[in-house]
Structure formats: structure tokens, C-alpha cells
Amino acid sequence: MVEKSKASKRGRIACSMTVRLGSITLDNPVIPASGTFGYGYEFAELYNINCLGSLSFKGTTREARFGNELPRIAECTGGLINSIGLQNPGVQRVVEEELPRLRACFQKPIIANICGFSVEEYAENSAVFDQEEQVAILEINVSCPNVHHGGMTFGTDPKMAAEVTRAVKKVTTKPVYIKLSPNVTDIVEIARACEDAGADGISLINTMLGMRIDLKSRKPVVANKMGGFSGSAVFPVALRMVYQVYEAVSIPVIGMGGVASARDVLEMMLAGASAVQVGAANLADPFICQKIISSLPEEMERYRINSLEEIIGGAH
């Protein structure tokens, strides 16, 4: 167990920030979300990223992708809209070039975020990452709203989400977490379908579908017209969905969506998250994950929390 201590006027108390995702133990629950932290080594130039619980690196497809046309970003109240379109160098280059760079500066287990445009592609990419020792969890992204004929197409249909889950489970011995889209009528139904198909955990939520219109041109701001809305404004929605899914499944949940503070982390865990990912906040403040981890002991003391694991699902 990794113990953190915090001095206070009332004396010293010991608090444990250690959490578990199935059989995997993390020093703390804070994980940068895929797509907002690159491949990790970029942030290692700013601070020692080994303070993180883990990290989910950039979403990976079979072939290299340049992504969507520009412009791809639109600012909005309480967040932003992105339409990056899964830009990445392809699975082989990630394994051969990006992961060795990450290993040089990060010694903890990592999460591979896997994307695809067919069930077969999800399985092929998963089989490649199954061979990577540092990869501890496969996070299967069936929820990206920024690409056509893939991503969210699989995440809005329980049968298709289950089909992807089964295909991936056949080619890997690593834990499989399915990353779900909030752009659905009943997220509980999809989470249950994934669990029934063998998923080891659920990640939620990915971005919501949103848009902005430029008043001068009278046209959508982003070239793709719509994109993924993320940031602090979506936190209440994400919290509600984590709460619902925690009640519906018996597998671990990784919560995300608008998390930007240690208090947000505690709320997510009370709703049922075993670990918490930080997304858009990294784009506004590259040090935000470090700051959240540093302030967690103080917030734990403030609310008389001795162990983070003890509060998981505590709001139920």
C-alpha cells in the first residue's frame, strides 16, 4: 500500500490513495484521459509523470490517420468542442516508436486506447497491444463522435458493443475496459451488454456531441460541423452516468468527464468510479493532474477520508 501523510492543525493522519482496477493496483486514481495527454513523454518534459496512477495514451487505429479537416477546435462556455478525428501514426508505429519513448520516462502500467472501423480492426489492434508488457489494460473506444462509420457507431448499439467486446476478449489475456458514449438513450443497457459479453470494466463517459456556429460566416465553426463536447460543463452528466452504471454492473468503472479538481475525483469515486480520468483540463493546464494528486490528501483529510478505496460507491 502506498501511504500519503498530511499534517494538519488536528495532528497527523495517514491516508491511502491506493486503488485497484481488478487485479491491477494503482498508487492513486488519477489517470490522464486518452487524446489529452499525447503519449505521455511530451508531458514528462514538464514534470515527473510517475506521480500519475496510470495514463491512457492517444487512441490508436490500424492505419495511420491524419484526422479531420481544419478547423478542429471550437471554444464554448465551460469547455470546448474537438473534432480531431483520431489522428495517430497507426498501431505498428505506436508500438515501435511511441511506447519505447514512454517507457523511458514512465515506469508504471499504462492503458492502451484502441479504436477501429470494424470489429476485425478492434481485434487486430488489441492482439498487437496484448504483446506489450507495459500495457496493463485495453480500453476499447466504441464511443468517438468525431469519425464517420466507426467509433460511436459501435457504442450506441448494445449488440454491436457486445460483439466488439467478445472479439477483443478472444485475442487478449489483458483486462478489457469498454469506453462508452454518453450520446445514447440508455447507457445502462449498453454497459450491461458489454459486461455480459465478458468486459472486465467500463470507462465512461467519452465526449458529448456538440457544435458551435460562427455568426459572421453563419456556418459551423469546426469543419466536421459537429464534434466532441468536453470540459467542466459535462461533469454533472458524467457523474450521473457513472452512478447509474455502477449500480447496474459488477465490474470496475473508470469515471471521466469534466474532472478538473481533487473534489471532482472524490465525487466520481463516491458515484462508483474505482479510478478517474482527467481529459480536457489537461489542455487548459498541463500541470492539472499533478496538482490534483498533490491536493488529494488535503481534501481527503477535509472530508475525513482515510482510504479512497473505502469511498467507492459511497453515495449509493
Which residues have a catalytic role annotated?
Answer: 144
| Nearest Cα residue to 128 out of 147, 115, 118, 146 | 115
- The three grid cell numbers given for residue 149, joined into one nine-digit string: 462509420
Beta-bridge mates of residue 203: 179, 254
Pairing relation of β-strands 135-141 and 176-179? parallel
In whole angstroms, what is the distance from residue 6 CA to residue 137 CA?
Answer: 31
| DSSP notation for 176-212 | EEEEPPS-SS-HHHHHHHHHHTT-SEEEE--PEEE--
| SS3 call for 49 | helix
How deeply is 186 buried, as exposed, middle or buried, from its count of CB atoms within 10 A (0-12, 13-18, 19+)?
Answer: exposed
| DSSP notation for 75-86 | EETTEEEE----
**Residue written as grid cell 495514463:** 55
